[in-house]
Structure 1
Amino acid sequence: MASSYDVHVRICSQEIIKYDLEIKALIQDIRDCPGPQSALFNLNSQVKEKFIKLRLRIQDLEQMAKEQDRESDRMDIQAETESQRRQLLSNQTAWRKANLACKLTIDNTEKDELLQRGEAYGTRQRKVTKESLVDSSSHITESLMSISRMMAEQVNQSKDTISTLATSSRTVLETNEEFKSMTGTIHFGRKLILKYNRRELTDKLLIFLALALFFATVLYILKKRIFPFI
């Protein structure tokens, strides 16, 4: 730039060059970034901030070109401005490519980590599965043994119940036989009572007849003695 440029133009150009170099350094950091995503996000935030400052300084430089009195100075500053704009676009392209490369690297790294974690998880899962199977087998065995004991107890209870039922059945049969025997005895006693009642009635009749005959005889004898001629 010609020596006639004023101090503000020189300062602005120097700041533009500084921001350009800082952006290039950050873009290189993005290319080399191994991750994680938070680190990439932090670098991109810094790049955006530098791009904003760079655009503002390019706009300032463009405004300074318009304010120049000499045509040659204005043309020189405008040429510098266009050069810086092209450099800004080049940096933006490099920034996008660096982001793509970094994201690809991070994705591959995360994929490898996921695979390793998956293998480690699979190993742990198989181990846990084996332990779970062993525990399940133990629980099932204990459950089967418990069920077997319960069934044995139930069988014993059933045997006791059957024995009790058999004893009760025999008792019922014996009681039934006793009832039958008592029924026969009662029937026989009833017959005896009826027979005794009939015999008692007969005895009463015989006694009555005997008394009647006795009194008739007495009356006859008295009649013959008292009234012999009647």
Structure 2
Amino acid sequence: MSQSNENLRLKILKTDFVKLRVSVKELVQEIRLHTGSQSELDDISSLVRLKNSQLHKQIEELQKLYYELDQGEEKRLISKEIEEWKEQVCDDHHTFRNVLLAAQLAVTQRNKNELFGLDSEDSTKDSEGGTLKHREKMSREIMMKKSAELTDDLLMVTRMIKDNTEKSTRTLDKLVESSQMVTSTQEELKTMGSVIGQAKKILNKYGRRENTDK
């Protein structure tokens, strides 16, 4: 691959990586300010996970470029960039999980408030008597339905916490494995260089002996 093609490929990878990170941050902020339903929250979370998957693919492409380069300053810089990208993606994912958990708990709390009639509407004062408005008593059937929905929401939050923990563990394992591969390749290249150097000394030694014999 020519130098110009390598530079162009690296530039495209960096640009796409930055765009994806900005998109993730915007979605996380949207989750942080979310006041809607659990279903809407799930849709936003799915988009974040999709962007995170694309970010990991960008890192993989940068690693491919690293392996295609000859030893030199540029390869060293790309190796450093790979590690920085991994740390950034890991940090973003950690922030996403914390914000998502807080948003899920907020949704659950809103459902709980609605169940027990603690919405802000109940604090609105009556224009004549200055007393608090009370919404009509929910029927037993509606109460049971709301209670079931609240239980489902709590179970969903529990499952999400478990899934996020497992995904985080797999992500960290993958990052550690990738880092070890880069380190192993660098050590192999150093060993090969040492062997080549020794072989060169032996060839030079025998070359001088041959000239002496003549």
Matches of 1:114 and 1:123 in 2, distance apart?
9
- Which residue does the alignment assign to 1:17? 18
- Which residue does the alignment assign to 2:182? none
Residue 114 (structure 2) pairs with residue 99 (structure 1):
no
| Secondary structure of 1:122 counterpart | coil
Identity over aligned pairs, percent = 25
Query: 1:122-159 CA deviation, whole Å, 9 max, x = no partner?
Result: 3778xxxxxxxxxxxxxxxxxxxxxxxxxxxxxxxxxx
Query: Could you list the runs of 5+ residues in structure 1 that have no partner in the other structure?
Result: 126-230
Give the C-alpha shift of residue 36 in structure 1.
Answer: 0.3
Matches of 2:82 and 2:17 in 1, distance apart?
10
Query: 1:51-105 CA deviation, whole Å, 9 max, x = no partner?
Result: 1111001110111111112421111111111101000000110011011110111
Higher radius of gyration, 1 or 2: 1
Give the C-alpha shift of residue 120 in structure 1.
Answer: 3.7
Residue 123 (structure 2) pairs with residue 122 (structure 1):
no
Could you list the runs of 4 or more consecutive aligned residues of structure 1 that deviate by over 2 angstroms after TM superposition? Answer: 117-125
- Which residue does the alignment assign to 2:34? 33
Q: How does 1:43-122 map to 2 (within 5 A)?
A: 43-116=44-117, 120=135, 122=137
Task: Say what the alpha-carbon RMSD is for the aligned residues.
Answer: 2.4
TM-score (norm 1): 0.49
- Which residue does the alignment assign to 2:192? none
Matches of 1:77 and 1:121 in 2, distance apart?
66
Give the letter for the 2:47 counterpart: Q
Matches of 1:117 and 1:52 in 2, distance apart?
40
Flag the 1:76–1:106 CA change in 2: closer, same or farther, 3 A. Answer: same
Matches of 1:123 and 1:109 in 2, distance apart?
17
Give the C-alpha shift of residue 18 in structure 1.
Answer: 0.7
Give the C-alpha shift of residue 46 in structure 1.
Answer: 0.4
Query: Could you list the runs of 5+ residues in structure 2 that have no partner in the other structure?
Result: 120-133, 141-214
Number of aligned positions between the proteins: 123
Flag the 1:62–1:120 CA change in 2: closer, same or farther, 3 A. Answer: same
Matches of 1:91 and 1:53 in 2, distance apart?
13
Residue 8 (structure 2) pairs with residue 7 (structure 1):
yes
Give the letter for the 2:93 counterpart: Q
Which structure shows the bigger proportion of residues in helix conformation? 1
